[in-house]
Structure 1
Amino acid sequence: MAQRRVVDERAGRDGLRERKKARTRNGIRREALRLFREQGYQATTMEQIARAADVAPSTLFRYFPTKDDLARLSDYHALGPRVVELFEALPAGGDVLTDLRAVLRAAVAELPEDERRARAERDVLVATVPELWAANLGLVGEGARVLRDLIARRTGRSPRDAAVRSLAGAVVGVCVQALADCADRPDADPVEAVDEALGALRAGLEL
Protein backbone atom coordinates (compact mmCIF):
# COMPACT_ATOMS: atom_id res chain seq x y z
CA MET A 1 0.00 0.00 0.00
CA ALA A 2 2.78 2.40 0.98
CA GLN A 3 4.72 1.49 -2.15
CA ARG A 4 1.71 2.22 -4.35
CA ARG A 5 1.26 5.60 -2.65
CA VAL A 6 4.90 6.46 -3.38
CA VAL A 7 4.44 5.46 -7.03
CA ASP A 8 1.27 7.56 -7.30
CA GLU A 9 2.97 10.58 -5.73
CA ARG A 10 5.92 10.25 -8.10
CA ALA A 11 3.58 9.99 -11.08
CA GLY A 12 1.73 13.07 -9.84
CA ARG A 13 4.98 15.03 -9.55
CA ASP A 14 6.05 13.90 -13.00
CA GLY A 15 2.69 14.90 -14.45
CA LEU A 16 2.87 18.32 -12.80
CA ARG A 17 6.41 18.81 -14.07
CA GLU A 18 5.35 17.98 -17.64
CA ARG A 19 2.37 20.35 -17.46
CA LYS A 20 4.64 23.15 -16.24
CA LYS A 21 7.05 22.46 -19.09
CA ALA A 22 4.19 22.55 -21.58
CA ARG A 23 2.96 25.88 -20.19
CA THR A 24 6.45 27.35 -20.43
CA ARG A 25 6.91 26.03 -23.96
CA ASN A 26 3.55 27.40 -25.09
CA GLY A 27 4.18 30.74 -23.40
CA ILE A 28 7.48 31.13 -25.22
CA ARG A 29 5.91 30.25 -28.56
CA ARG A 30 3.00 32.63 -27.96
CA GLU A 31 5.35 35.56 -27.42
CA ALA A 32 7.55 34.53 -30.33
CA LEU A 33 4.57 34.49 -32.69
CA ARG A 34 3.45 37.88 -31.42
CA LEU A 35 6.88 39.33 -32.18
CA PHE A 36 6.99 37.65 -35.59
CA ARG A 37 3.65 39.27 -36.38
CA GLU A 38 4.58 42.72 -35.07
CA GLN A 39 8.13 43.12 -36.35
CA GLY A 40 8.80 40.24 -38.73
CA TYR A 41 10.59 36.94 -38.39
CA GLN A 42 14.03 38.08 -39.47
CA ALA A 43 13.99 41.15 -37.23
CA THR A 44 13.08 39.16 -34.11
CA THR A 45 15.96 37.89 -32.00
CA MET A 46 16.05 35.09 -29.49
CA GLU A 47 16.98 37.62 -26.81
CA GLN A 48 13.82 39.63 -27.56
CA ILE A 49 11.74 36.47 -27.34
CA ALA A 50 13.25 35.56 -23.96
CA ARG A 51 12.47 39.02 -22.59
CA ALA A 52 8.92 38.97 -23.94
CA ALA A 53 8.28 35.52 -22.47
CA ASP A 54 9.90 36.54 -19.16
CA VAL A 55 12.33 33.63 -19.14
CA ALA A 56 16.09 33.48 -18.93
CA PRO A 57 17.91 33.06 -22.25
CA SER A 58 19.25 29.74 -20.96
CA THR A 59 15.65 28.54 -20.43
CA LEU A 60 14.67 29.63 -23.93
CA PHE A 61 17.61 27.81 -25.52
CA ARG A 62 16.89 24.70 -23.47
CA TYR A 63 13.42 24.47 -24.97
CA PHE A 64 14.27 25.87 -28.42
CA PRO A 65 17.94 25.74 -29.42
CA THR A 66 17.32 27.86 -32.54
CA LYS A 67 14.71 30.23 -33.92
CA ASP A 68 13.94 27.64 -36.56
CA ASP A 69 12.88 25.28 -33.76
CA LEU A 70 10.46 27.95 -32.57
CA ALA A 71 9.03 28.25 -36.07
CA ARG A 72 8.03 24.57 -36.28
CA LEU A 73 4.55 24.43 -34.76
CA SER A 74 3.39 20.83 -35.02
CA ASP A 75 3.05 20.51 -31.23
CA TYR A 76 1.59 23.98 -30.62
CA HIS A 77 -2.18 23.74 -30.00
CA ALA A 78 -2.47 20.80 -32.39
CA LEU A 79 -6.02 19.83 -33.44
CA GLY A 80 -5.29 17.05 -35.91
CA PRO A 81 -5.77 14.01 -33.64
CA ARG A 82 -9.07 15.36 -32.28
CA VAL A 83 -10.36 16.20 -35.76
CA VAL A 84 -9.59 12.65 -36.91
CA GLU A 85 -11.30 11.19 -33.85
CA LEU A 86 -14.45 13.25 -34.32
CA PHE A 87 -14.62 12.65 -38.06
CA GLU A 88 -14.28 8.89 -37.75
CA ALA A 89 -16.97 8.82 -35.04
CA LEU A 90 -19.59 10.23 -37.45
CA PRO A 91 -22.00 7.84 -39.15
CA ALA A 92 -20.95 6.71 -42.61
CA GLY A 93 -22.74 8.04 -45.66
CA GLY A 94 -22.73 11.73 -44.84
CA ASP A 95 -21.48 14.46 -47.14
CA VAL A 96 -17.72 14.74 -46.65
CA LEU A 97 -17.46 18.53 -46.67
CA THR A 98 -20.54 19.02 -44.49
CA ASP A 99 -19.14 16.55 -41.97
CA LEU A 100 -15.70 18.15 -42.08
CA ARG A 101 -17.15 21.59 -41.36
CA ALA A 102 -19.08 20.21 -38.40
CA VAL A 103 -16.01 18.43 -37.05
CA LEU A 104 -13.76 21.50 -37.32
CA ARG A 105 -16.34 23.64 -35.50
CA ALA A 106 -16.72 21.02 -32.78
CA ALA A 107 -12.96 20.59 -32.28
CA VAL A 108 -12.38 24.32 -31.95
CA ALA A 109 -15.40 24.75 -29.65
CA GLU A 110 -13.79 22.34 -27.18
CA LEU A 111 -10.81 24.66 -26.70
CA PRO A 112 -10.67 27.24 -23.90
CA GLU A 113 -10.93 30.77 -25.27
CA ASP A 114 -7.22 31.55 -24.82
CA GLU A 115 -6.22 28.38 -26.66
CA ARG A 116 -8.72 29.13 -29.40
CA ARG A 117 -7.15 32.56 -29.94
CA ALA A 118 -3.64 31.10 -29.88
CA ARG A 119 -4.59 28.44 -32.43
CA ALA A 120 -6.19 31.04 -34.71
CA GLU A 121 -3.11 33.26 -34.58
CA ARG A 122 -0.89 30.26 -35.27
CA ASP A 123 -2.85 29.33 -38.38
CA VAL A 124 -2.99 32.86 -39.79
CA LEU A 125 0.73 33.42 -39.28
CA VAL A 126 1.69 30.11 -40.89
CA ALA A 127 -0.38 31.12 -43.92
CA THR A 128 1.14 34.60 -44.17
CA VAL A 129 4.72 34.63 -42.83
CA PRO A 130 7.03 33.07 -45.43
CA GLU A 131 9.50 31.70 -42.90
CA LEU A 132 6.74 30.04 -40.89
CA TRP A 133 5.16 28.66 -44.04
CA ALA A 134 8.50 27.13 -45.08
CA ALA A 135 9.10 25.69 -41.61
CA ASN A 136 5.66 24.10 -41.50
CA LEU A 137 5.24 22.98 -45.09
CA GLY A 138 5.73 19.39 -44.00
CA LEU A 139 2.96 19.84 -41.44
CA VAL A 140 0.62 21.17 -44.13
CA GLY A 141 1.49 18.24 -46.36
CA GLU A 142 0.85 15.77 -43.55
CA GLY A 143 -2.52 17.40 -42.90
CA ALA A 144 -3.42 16.93 -46.56
CA ARG A 145 -2.41 13.25 -46.39
CA VAL A 146 -4.48 12.67 -43.24
CA LEU A 147 -7.46 14.38 -44.87
CA ARG A 148 -7.01 12.32 -48.02
CA ASP A 149 -7.04 9.10 -45.99
CA LEU A 150 -10.16 10.19 -44.07
CA ILE A 151 -11.98 10.97 -47.31
CA ALA A 152 -10.87 7.66 -48.80
CA ARG A 153 -12.17 5.66 -45.85
CA ARG A 154 -15.44 7.60 -45.75
CA THR A 155 -16.11 7.14 -49.47
CA GLY A 156 -14.72 3.61 -49.83
CA ARG A 157 -12.19 4.76 -52.42
CA SER A 158 -8.44 4.43 -52.63
CA PRO A 159 -6.29 7.24 -51.20
CA ARG A 160 -4.65 7.28 -54.64
CA ASP A 161 -7.98 8.00 -56.35
CA ALA A 162 -7.68 11.26 -58.30
CA ALA A 163 -11.03 12.53 -57.01
CA VAL A 164 -10.03 11.87 -53.40
CA ARG A 165 -6.67 13.58 -53.80
CA SER A 166 -8.22 16.52 -55.62
CA LEU A 167 -10.85 17.07 -52.94
CA ALA A 168 -8.26 16.90 -50.15
CA GLY A 169 -6.05 19.36 -52.03
CA ALA A 170 -8.97 21.70 -52.65
CA VAL A 171 -9.89 21.70 -48.96
CA VAL A 172 -6.34 22.50 -47.89
CA GLY A 173 -6.05 25.20 -50.55
CA VAL A 174 -9.25 27.06 -49.65
CA CYS A 175 -8.42 26.85 -45.94
CA VAL A 176 -4.96 28.33 -46.46
CA GLN A 177 -6.40 31.11 -48.63
CA ALA A 178 -9.10 31.88 -46.05
CA LEU A 179 -6.49 32.15 -43.31
CA ALA A 180 -4.24 34.34 -45.45
CA ASP A 181 -7.17 36.66 -46.14
CA CYS A 182 -7.67 37.08 -42.39
CA ALA A 183 -4.31 38.84 -42.14
CA ASP A 184 -5.82 41.80 -44.01
CA ARG A 185 -8.98 41.78 -41.86
CA PRO A 186 -8.00 42.16 -38.19
CA ASP A 187 -11.61 41.76 -37.09
CA ALA A 188 -12.05 38.47 -39.00
CA ASP A 189 -12.56 35.21 -37.12
CA PRO A 190 -10.28 32.59 -38.74
CA VAL A 191 -12.59 29.76 -37.68
CA GLU A 192 -15.58 31.44 -39.32
CA ALA A 193 -13.48 32.31 -42.37
CA VAL A 194 -12.46 28.68 -42.87
CA ASP A 195 -16.01 27.47 -42.33
CA GLU A 196 -17.32 29.98 -44.86
CA ALA A 197 -14.65 28.96 -47.37
CA LEU A 198 -15.53 25.28 -47.03
CA GLY A 199 -19.19 26.15 -47.49
CA ALA A 200 -18.32 28.02 -50.67
CA LEU A 201 -16.29 25.06 -51.88
CA ARG A 202 -19.24 22.77 -51.21
CA ALA A 203 -21.53 25.05 -53.19
CA GLY A 204 -18.99 25.29 -56.00
CA LEU A 205 -18.89 21.53 -56.39
CA GLU A 206 -22.60 21.62 -57.24
CA LEU A 207 -22.25 24.16 -60.07
Structure 2
Amino acid sequence: MIRMRWLMASLMIAATLAGGPSWAQTWRPMPPEEAHLVVPVSAFGSGNIRRYVIDLNTTVRYERWVTPIDPSRRFFQLVLRESTAGVPVREEADLREFVVKSWGAEDATRFAWGEQGTIATPLGPSEYEHFSVGDIGCVAFQTFFGGMSSGGGSGNYPANALKGLYCDPVFRRIPDTDIQNTIPSIGVTAEVAR
Protein backbone atom coordinates (compact mmCIF):
# COMPACT_ATOMS: atom_id res chain seq x y z
CA MET A 1 0.00 0.00 0.00
CA ILE A 2 2.83 2.41 0.81
CA ARG A 3 4.51 1.54 -2.50
CA MET A 4 1.27 2.31 -4.39
CA ARG A 5 0.91 5.67 -2.60
CA TRP A 6 4.51 6.54 -3.45
CA LEU A 7 3.92 5.53 -7.08
CA MET A 8 0.76 7.61 -7.30
CA ALA A 9 2.40 10.66 -5.73
CA SER A 10 5.41 10.50 -8.03
CA LEU A 11 3.21 10.12 -11.10
CA MET A 12 1.05 13.10 -10.19
CA ILE A 13 4.17 15.26 -9.81
CA ALA A 14 5.64 13.97 -13.06
CA ALA A 15 2.40 14.46 -14.99
CA THR A 16 2.32 18.05 -13.83
CA LEU A 17 5.90 18.82 -14.81
CA ALA A 18 6.79 16.70 -17.80
CA GLY A 19 5.96 15.83 -21.34
CA GLY A 20 6.96 18.47 -23.81
CA PRO A 21 9.38 20.73 -25.58
CA SER A 22 11.30 22.08 -22.63
CA TRP A 23 10.60 20.70 -19.22
CA ALA A 24 10.73 24.26 -17.85
CA GLN A 25 8.08 25.63 -20.25
CA THR A 26 4.70 26.65 -18.90
CA TRP A 27 1.73 24.72 -20.20
CA ARG A 28 -1.49 26.73 -20.24
CA PRO A 29 -4.85 25.01 -19.75
CA MET A 30 -6.64 24.51 -23.05
CA PRO A 31 -10.40 24.36 -23.59
CA PRO A 32 -11.52 21.18 -25.42
CA GLU A 33 -12.67 23.15 -28.48
CA GLU A 34 -9.04 24.22 -29.17
CA ALA A 35 -7.81 20.63 -29.24
CA HIS A 36 -6.05 19.24 -32.29
CA LEU A 37 -5.93 15.73 -30.83
CA VAL A 38 -8.94 13.50 -31.39
CA VAL A 39 -9.29 10.78 -28.77
CA PRO A 40 -12.39 8.58 -28.54
CA VAL A 41 -13.92 7.92 -25.15
CA SER A 42 -13.31 4.20 -25.76
CA ALA A 43 -9.52 4.75 -25.60
CA PHE A 44 -9.20 6.12 -22.07
CA GLY A 45 -12.65 7.01 -20.77
CA SER A 46 -13.82 10.58 -20.35
CA GLY A 47 -13.11 11.40 -16.73
CA ASN A 48 -10.67 14.05 -15.55
CA ILE A 49 -8.83 14.61 -18.83
CA ARG A 50 -6.66 17.69 -18.52
CA ARG A 51 -5.63 19.47 -21.70
CA TYR A 52 -2.71 21.88 -22.04
CA VAL A 53 -1.03 23.74 -24.88
CA ILE A 54 2.18 25.65 -25.56
CA ASP A 55 2.48 27.88 -28.60
CA LEU A 56 6.21 28.50 -28.56
CA ASN A 57 6.07 30.83 -31.54
CA THR A 58 4.48 30.78 -34.96
CA THR A 59 6.43 27.69 -36.01
CA VAL A 60 5.63 25.04 -33.39
CA ARG A 61 2.72 24.08 -31.16
CA TYR A 62 2.64 21.43 -28.43
CA GLU A 63 -0.54 19.94 -27.05
CA ARG A 64 -0.67 17.63 -24.03
CA TRP A 65 -3.52 15.54 -22.62
CA VAL A 66 -3.11 13.82 -19.28
CA THR A 67 -5.28 12.06 -16.72
CA PRO A 68 -4.60 11.77 -13.01
CA ILE A 69 -3.44 8.46 -11.60
CA ASP A 70 -6.32 6.27 -10.53
CA PRO A 71 -5.50 2.72 -9.40
CA SER A 72 -8.97 1.59 -10.53
CA ARG A 73 -8.66 2.58 -14.20
CA ARG A 74 -6.18 3.31 -16.97
CA PHE A 75 -4.33 6.60 -17.11
CA PHE A 76 -2.44 8.25 -19.92
CA GLN A 77 -0.41 11.11 -21.32
CA LEU A 78 -0.36 12.23 -24.95
CA VAL A 79 1.88 14.89 -26.49
CA LEU A 80 1.32 16.24 -30.00
CA ARG A 81 4.07 18.36 -31.56
CA GLU A 82 3.09 20.29 -34.70
CA SER A 83 5.40 22.19 -37.02
CA THR A 84 2.92 24.91 -37.82
CA ALA A 85 4.95 26.78 -40.44
CA GLY A 86 6.86 23.94 -42.10
CA VAL A 87 9.95 24.81 -40.08
CA PRO A 88 11.85 21.72 -38.90
CA VAL A 89 11.73 20.97 -35.19
CA ARG A 90 14.10 18.33 -33.86
CA GLU A 91 12.18 15.59 -32.06
CA GLU A 92 13.82 12.95 -29.89
CA ALA A 93 12.85 9.51 -31.21
CA ASP A 94 13.87 7.58 -28.06
CA LEU A 95 10.71 6.17 -26.47
CA ARG A 96 12.50 5.29 -23.25
CA GLU A 97 13.70 8.85 -22.84
CA PHE A 98 10.12 10.06 -23.37
CA VAL A 99 8.90 7.69 -20.65
CA VAL A 100 11.65 8.69 -18.22
CA LYS A 101 10.94 12.41 -18.72
CA SER A 102 7.18 11.92 -18.60
CA TRP A 103 7.44 10.16 -15.24
CA GLY A 104 10.01 12.58 -13.86
CA ALA A 105 12.41 9.68 -13.22
CA GLU A 106 16.17 10.01 -12.98
CA ASP A 107 16.91 7.15 -15.37
CA ALA A 108 15.38 4.20 -17.21
CA THR A 109 16.35 1.58 -14.60
CA ARG A 110 13.17 2.29 -12.65
CA PHE A 111 11.15 0.61 -15.40
CA ALA A 112 10.95 -2.98 -16.58
CA TRP A 113 11.13 -2.81 -20.38
CA GLY A 114 9.38 -5.31 -22.63
CA GLU A 115 8.75 -6.09 -26.27
CA GLN A 116 8.80 -3.52 -29.03
CA GLY A 117 6.65 -3.42 -32.13
CA THR A 118 5.11 -1.37 -34.88
CA ILE A 119 1.42 -0.94 -35.60
CA ALA A 120 -0.38 0.71 -38.53
CA THR A 121 -2.45 3.78 -37.66
CA PRO A 122 -4.35 6.30 -39.80
CA LEU A 123 -1.43 8.73 -39.28
CA GLY A 124 1.20 6.19 -40.33
CA PRO A 125 3.31 3.53 -38.61
CA SER A 126 3.53 3.83 -34.84
CA GLU A 127 6.39 2.35 -32.85
CA TYR A 128 5.56 1.08 -29.38
CA GLU A 129 7.27 -0.52 -26.42
CA HIS A 130 5.87 -2.32 -23.40
CA PHE A 131 7.09 -1.31 -19.96
CA SER A 132 5.93 -1.66 -16.40
CA VAL A 133 6.32 0.07 -13.08
CA GLY A 134 5.79 -2.32 -10.21
CA ASP A 135 2.70 -4.37 -11.07
CA ILE A 136 1.26 -1.84 -13.53
CA GLY A 137 1.50 -2.63 -17.24
CA CYS A 138 2.15 0.24 -19.64
CA VAL A 139 2.85 1.00 -23.29
CA ALA A 140 4.71 3.96 -24.79
CA PHE A 141 4.28 4.85 -28.46
CA GLN A 142 5.23 7.43 -31.08
CA THR A 143 4.00 8.25 -34.55
CA PHE A 144 5.76 10.67 -36.89
CA PHE A 145 3.58 12.02 -39.69
CA GLY A 146 3.04 14.83 -42.17
CA GLY A 147 6.24 14.32 -44.13
CA MET A 148 9.72 15.57 -43.37
CA SER A 149 10.96 19.12 -42.96
CA SER A 150 14.47 19.94 -44.06
CA GLY A 151 16.71 21.38 -41.41
CA GLY A 152 19.47 22.27 -43.85
CA GLY A 153 22.77 21.26 -42.30
CA SER A 154 21.01 19.98 -39.19
CA GLY A 155 19.12 17.18 -40.98
CA ASN A 156 15.52 16.31 -41.76
CA TYR A 157 12.85 16.05 -39.09
CA PRO A 158 9.26 14.83 -39.06
CA ALA A 159 6.73 17.62 -39.58
CA ASN A 160 4.58 16.33 -36.71
CA ALA A 161 4.95 13.87 -33.84
CA LEU A 162 2.42 12.17 -31.61
CA LYS A 163 3.87 10.53 -28.51
CA GLY A 164 2.06 8.90 -25.68
CA LEU A 165 2.00 6.40 -22.92
CA TYR A 166 -0.78 4.67 -21.12
CA CYS A 167 -0.94 2.35 -18.17
CA ASP A 168 -3.62 0.05 -16.87
CA PRO A 169 -3.43 -1.26 -13.29
CA VAL A 170 -5.55 -4.26 -14.34
CA PHE A 171 -2.68 -5.66 -16.44
CA ARG A 172 0.91 -6.54 -15.70
CA ARG A 173 1.39 -6.42 -19.48
CA ILE A 174 -0.96 -4.53 -21.81
CA PRO A 175 -2.48 -7.12 -24.19
CA ASP A 176 -1.65 -6.84 -27.90
CA THR A 177 -5.36 -6.61 -28.76
CA ASP A 178 -5.63 -3.56 -26.50
CA ILE A 179 -2.71 -1.91 -28.30
CA GLN A 180 -4.29 -2.71 -31.68
CA ASN A 181 -7.52 -1.00 -30.60
CA THR A 182 -6.15 1.95 -28.62
CA ILE A 183 -3.18 3.41 -30.50
CA PRO A 184 -4.84 3.55 -33.97
CA SER A 185 -7.92 5.22 -32.44
CA ILE A 186 -5.93 8.34 -31.48
CA GLY A 187 -5.97 10.92 -34.24
CA VAL A 188 -5.68 14.58 -35.04
CA THR A 189 -7.96 17.16 -36.62
CA ALA A 190 -8.00 17.38 -40.41
CA GLU A 191 -5.96 20.60 -40.46
CA VAL A 192 -3.06 18.87 -38.69
CA ALA A 193 -3.27 15.59 -40.63
CA ARG A 194 -2.53 17.28 -43.97
User: Which category of TM-score, normalised to the shorter sequence, fits these structures?
Assistant: under 0.3
Which protein has greater RCO, CA pairs closer than 8 Å, 6+ apart?
A: 2
Q: Which has the higher helix share?
A: 1
The TM-score, its normalising length taken from structure 1, stands at 0.25
The TM-score, its normalising length taken from structure 2, stands at 0.26
